[in-house]
């Protein structure tokens, strides 16, 4: 099983839909993060956790139904895989975020969207190859 399986048009459609869901997730996540950080003076790590949690919920629903058009009846299994993938991607992103803020002295408000770029790339691959993979291609 390869990433594109020879059908580039289908894969580009998935990437575009994933991007559209990502724009909405970013609005939800980053909006929540900045509301908590700037509006409510909360710690950037806490704000990141809350923002990503809300984005992750939205992402699972929309990516399952629309991006990857999953018909797999094992929703709980997909949900668990989705949470594992999102959690792993978020932890890598959080480490990168902390390194930018505390090591490189990048302002936390500027560092958040930079970390989101890393998260998005890793998350697409995890969703495509692990969470919503085509059952016909599974072992």
- For the stretch 65-103, pLDDT in tens is 999 888 888 889 999 999 999 889 989 999 999 999 999
Judge whether 42 lies within some domain: yes
**Is the pLDDT assigned to residue 137 strictly greater than 90?**
no
1 in any annotated domain: no
pLDDT at position 136, please?
53
Does 139 reside within a domain? Answer: no
90, part of any domain: yes
Query: Domain range holding 88?
Result: 8-133
Tell me if 3 is assigned to some domain: no
Q: What is the pLDDT at residue 3?
A: 57
H or E element: which one contains 20?
helix 8-34
Task: Evaluate whether residue 14 is within a structural domain.
Answer: yes
DSSP secondary structure code for residue 66 in this structure: I
Domain count along the chain? 1
Q: Give the residue from 45, 83, 49, 93 showing the smallest Cα distance to 63.
A: 83
With respect to residue 65, please indicate whether it lies within any of the assigned structural domains: yes
What pLDDT, on the 0 to 100 scale, is given for residue 135?
Answer: 58
User: What would the pLDDT profile of 25-71 be if each residue is shown by its tens digit?
Assistant: 889 998 999 999 999 999 999 998 999 889 889 999 999 999 988 88
Q: Which pLDDT belongs to residue 139?
A: 35
- Rounded CA gap, 103 and 29, in Å? 24
Q: How many helices (H) and strands (E) does the chain have?
A: 4, 0
* pLDDT score of 119 more than 90: no
């Amino acid at each position: 099983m390869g990433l594109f399986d020879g059908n580039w048009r289908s894969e580009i459609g998935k990437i575009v839909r994933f991007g559209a869901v990502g724009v909405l997730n970013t609005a939800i996540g980053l909006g929540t993060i900045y509301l908590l950080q700037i509006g409510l003076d909360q710690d950037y790590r806490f704000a990141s956790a809350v923002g990503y949690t809300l984005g992750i919920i939205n992402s699972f629903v929309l990516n399952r139904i629309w991006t990857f058009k999953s018909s797999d009846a094992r929703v709980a299994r997909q949900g668990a895989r989705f949470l594992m993938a999102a959690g792993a991607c978020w932890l890598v992103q959080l480490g990168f975020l902390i390194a930018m803020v505390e090591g490189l002295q990048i302002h936390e408000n500027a560092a958040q969207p930079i970390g989101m770029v890393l998260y998005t790339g890793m998350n697409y691959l995890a969703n495509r190859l692990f969470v919503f993979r085509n059952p016909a291609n599974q072992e």
